[in-house]
Structure 1
Amino acid sequence: MAEYYPLILFFVFLVLHGFPCPSQSSDLFNPRLQKAYVALQAWKHSITCDPNQLTTDWDGPHVCNYTGVFCAPALDDANELTVASIDLNQGGICGVLPTHLGLLKDLSVFHINSNRFCGGLPETLSEMKLLHELDVSNNDLSGPFPHVALMMESLKFFDIRFNHFCGEVPATLFAKKLDAIFINNNNFSSAVPANIGDSSVSVLVIANLDLHGCFPRSISKMGDTLYELILMNNGLFSCLPEDLGKLKKVRVFDISSNQIVGGLPESIGEMKSLEQLNVAHNKLSGEIPASIFNLPRLENFTYSDNYFCSEPDNYQNIKRIDDERNCLPDRPLQRSPEECCSFLSEPVFCSLLPAKKNTSPPAKIPLPLH
C-alpha cells in the first residue's frame, strides 16, 4: 500500500483544487512528475523562510514550471518528462531537507548552496542513482559525515564545504570515483586517511579541518588526474614526500598553515604545470631548490613564515614572491638571528618523525566559497 501513497496524495490535490485544462493533462498521467510533485510539496512545507520567494510559485501539479526546477526527457524513456535538475543556489532559504526528496530518482543535479538549510542529508537521497552533482555548500547542515553520498552511484561532484558536519572523514570517500571533492570548513576531526592517493579527483580541497597525522604520501599517485590540491590549515605534521614531482598536472598546490617540517623536495621542480605554490606558515627549512624558480608557468610562490636560509638569486620569471619571516640573509622582514639559530640548531630527521602529533584544532582561515 505504501508505494501508492504519492499517487493518492496527488489525486487528493486534484479533488481539492480542480483538474487542469486539457493542454496540461499529460503531466497528470506521468508517474515521475506525480512523485516529483509530492517531493517538492513536502519540501515546500518544510521551508520556514524564503526571502527571495524562490518557492512562491511551487503550486499545482506542473512541477516543470516551478522556479529552480528543470525537466528533461527521462534517460530510459525519451517520451516521458522527469525532474532532472534543481538549482536554488544563493536563495537564503531556511528549513530542512525532507525524506520525500528520495522520490526524485531521476535527478542529476542538486544545487542548494548559500542557503540556511539545517539538519542532515536524508538517507533517502541514496535513491538518486543518476545524481551527478551534489552541492549543499554554505548552509547550516550538521551531523556526521553524510555517508548517503557514497551510495549515489553516478556522483562525480561532491561539495559540502562551509557547513557543520563533524566526526571522521571516511577513507571510503577516496575510493569512490569522483571528479571533485570539497569538504573544507566543517568540524571534521580525524586522522588523515592514508588512501587519499587512491582518489580519481581533479580537484581536492581539504582545508580548515582538525586533521592530524602525516602529509599523505599516497598523494603522489594522483599524477594522472589531479589539477588542484588545497590542504591548508589542517595541522599536518611531517616532511613532504620526495616524489611530489609526479604531480605533473597540478596547477594549484597549497599546503600552507600546517606543521610541515624538513625541506622542499627537489622534485617539485618537475611539476611543470604549477601556477600557484603556497607553503607558507609551516616549519620548513634549508635551501629552496633552484628548479622551482625555473617552473615555466609559476606565477605565485609564497613561502613566508618558515625557516628557509637560502634562496636562488634568479626568480624574475615569477610575478609574485613572498619570502617574509624566514632566515634569509640580506632580505627584509626576516626572523631575528636568535630565533633562526634556536630553530635551526635542532635538525629534522624525517625518517624518525612520529606518524601523529596531537595538536589543538587549527584556527579557521578565511577561504572563499567560490
Structure 2
Amino acid sequence: MGLPQNFLVSSVTLLLAVAMAVNACPPSDREALLAFRAALNEPYLGIFNTWSGTDCCTKWYGVSCNPETKRVADVILRGESEDPIFEKAGRSGYMTGSISPSVCKLDSLTTLVLADWKDISGEIPSCITSLPNLRILDLIGNKISGQIPADIGKLSRLTVLNLADNRIAGALPPSIVNLNSLMHLELSNNKLSGEIPSDIGKLSMMSRALLSRNQLTGSIPSSIANIYRLADLDLSMNQITGSIPAQLGSMPVLSTLNLDSNQLSSEIPTSLLSNGGLSILNLSRNSLEGNLPDVFGPKTYFTQIDLSYNNLRGSIPKSLSSAKYIGHLDLSHNHLCGPIPDGSPFDHLEASSFANNDCLCGMPLRTC
C-alpha cells in the first residue's frame, strides 16, 4: 500500500526547506546585513531591493559567501561601477547614512568595500578591528569623519586600507605599523595631522603609500627606506619639514616619489637623481637649496622631474644631456644661472621649464 500523496508532497517540501536552510547564510549574518542596510539610504538605483528572502548568499547585490561555511565573506558596494544596474540608470551611485557597527557581527568578513557613494558620513566603527579575517577595507570617496580606529593594527591579515577622499582627522594611530600584511595604504585627501610614525618601515609588504593632501607635519622617517617593495610614495601637499632622507634614493623598486608642496629644506640627495629605477620625481614647491647634483648618465631614465619653486642655485648640470631619456623637466622658479646645455632633453623643452630663474640663458630662452 503506497504512502498518501499529501504525505509525499509535505516530505519533499520539508526536504527542500532543509536543503535550502543548509545552503543559506546563518540568520545572524542576515540580521547583521539588514541592520547594516538600515543605516544607509540609496534612493536612485534600488540595489537594496535585492536584499530580501532568507538566503543572503544568493542574489543579494554585492554580497557573497564562503561556499563551504555559507558565512558572509564579502560585502562589495561601489558607487562607480560598470554593473548593468548603473548603466541602465545612466548615473553613478549616491548614498547617505553611516556604517552601522552591526557590520562587525559578520565575523567571517574578508572584504568590506563601501566606496564612491559621495555622501556616507559618520565614523568608522571601532569594532571593525575585531574582524579577524578582514583583508580589504575600502571606504574611498565618501564623507566619513572621525579618526582611524586606534586598534587598526590588530587586523593582521589586512592587505588594502583605502580611506582616501573622506574627512578623516587626527593622527595616524601608532598601531598602524603592525599591519604586517598591508600592501596598499591610501589615505589621500583627508584631514590627517601629526607625524608619520618613525617606525613605519615595519610595513615591509607595502608597495603603495599614498598620503597626499592632508595636514601631516614632522619629517620623513628614514625607516621608509626599509620597505623594499615600495614602488609608489606620495606625501605631497602636506606640511612636512626637514630634509629628504638620502636612503630613499637606494630603494630598489621605488619608481614614483611625490614630495611636492611641503616645507622640505636642505639639499636634494644625490642618490635620488642617480637612482636608475626612479621614473617620476616631483620635489616642487618646497624650500630645497644648494646646487643640482651632477650625477646623470646613460642609465638615467625619468618620465618626469619637477624641481620648480625651490631655492636651487648654480648651473644646470651638463650631464643631463647624457641621460637615456628625460620626458618632462621643470626647473622654473629657482635661482639657477648660466647657459642651458645643448642637445636632448633641452631641445624639446619649452621656455616655461626654465622661467623665473636668476640668469639662465640659451635655447629655448634668450641667447647667452
TM-score of the superposition, structure 2-length normalised?
0.78
2:355 counterpart residue number: 334
Equivalences for residues 45-60 of structure 1 within 5 A: 45-60=38-53
Equivalent runs, 1:1-370 vs 2, <5 Å? 23=16, 25-29=18-22, 32-64=25-57, 65-73=59-67, 78=68, 80-90=69-79, 91-115=93-117, 116-177=119-180, 178-200=182-204, 201-222=206-227, 224-292=228-296, 294-309=298-313, 310-313=315-318, 314=321, 315=323, 317-329=325-337, 330=339, 332=351, 333-335=354-356, 337=358
Question: Please, which runs of 5 or more residues in structure 2 have no aligned partner?
Answer: 1-12, 80-92, 341-350, 360-368
8 Å CA contact retained: 2:65, 2:74: yes
What SS class does the counterpart of residue 168 from structure 2 fall into?
strand
**Do the aligned partners of residues 244 and 127 (structure 1) sit closer, same or farther apart at CA in structure 2, a change above 3 Å counting?**
closer
CA deviations 1:68-107 (Å, max 9, x no partner) are 112232xxxx3x3222211111132211111211121111
**How far off is 1:292 after superposition?**
4.8
Aligned to 2:49, what secondary structure does the other structure show? Answer: coil
**Over residues 11-34 of structure 1, what are the superposed CA-to-partner deviations in whole Å (9 max), with x where a residue is unaligned?**
xxxxxxxxx996565353468532
Are the aligned partners of 1:293 and 1:317 in contact in 2 as well (CA < 8 Å)? no
Partners in 2 of 1:162 and 1:132 — Cα distance?
A: 20
- The code of the aligned residue for 1:165 comes to I
- Counterpart-to-counterpart distance in 2, 1:294 and 1:218: 30
Query: How far apart in 2 are the matches of 1:312 and 1:336?
Result: 15
Greater RCO, 1 or 2 (C-alpha within 8 Å, sep 6+)? 1
Decide which moves more: 90-99 or 20-29.
20-29
Asked whether the 8 Å contact 2:76–2:112 carries over to 1, the reply is yes
In structure 2, C-alpha distance between the alignment counterparts of 1:148 and 1:59, rounded to whole Å:
34
Cα offset for 1:318? 0.9
CA 1:58–1:302: 2 relative to 1, 3 Å: same
| Counterpart contact for 1:328–1:334, Cα < 8 Å | no
Structure 1: gaps of 5 or more residues? 1-19, 339-370
* Percent identity over paired residues: 23
Contact kept, 8 Å, 1:113 with 1:135, in 2: the verdict is: yes
Aligned residues: 313
SS in structure 1 of the partner of residue 169 of structure 2: strand
Counterpart of 1:319 in 2: which secondary structure?
strand
User: Corresponding residue for 1:346?
Assistant: none
Post-superposition offset of 1:122? 1.7
Give the structure-1-normalised TM-score.
0.78
Q: Deviations over 1:186-239 (max 9, x none)?
A: 1122133222222221111111111212222222222x2211110101111111
User: How far does the alpha carbon of each residue in 1:151-205 deviate from its partner, in whole angstroms, 9 at most, with x for none?
Assistant: 2231111111111111111222123211111112111221332222222211111
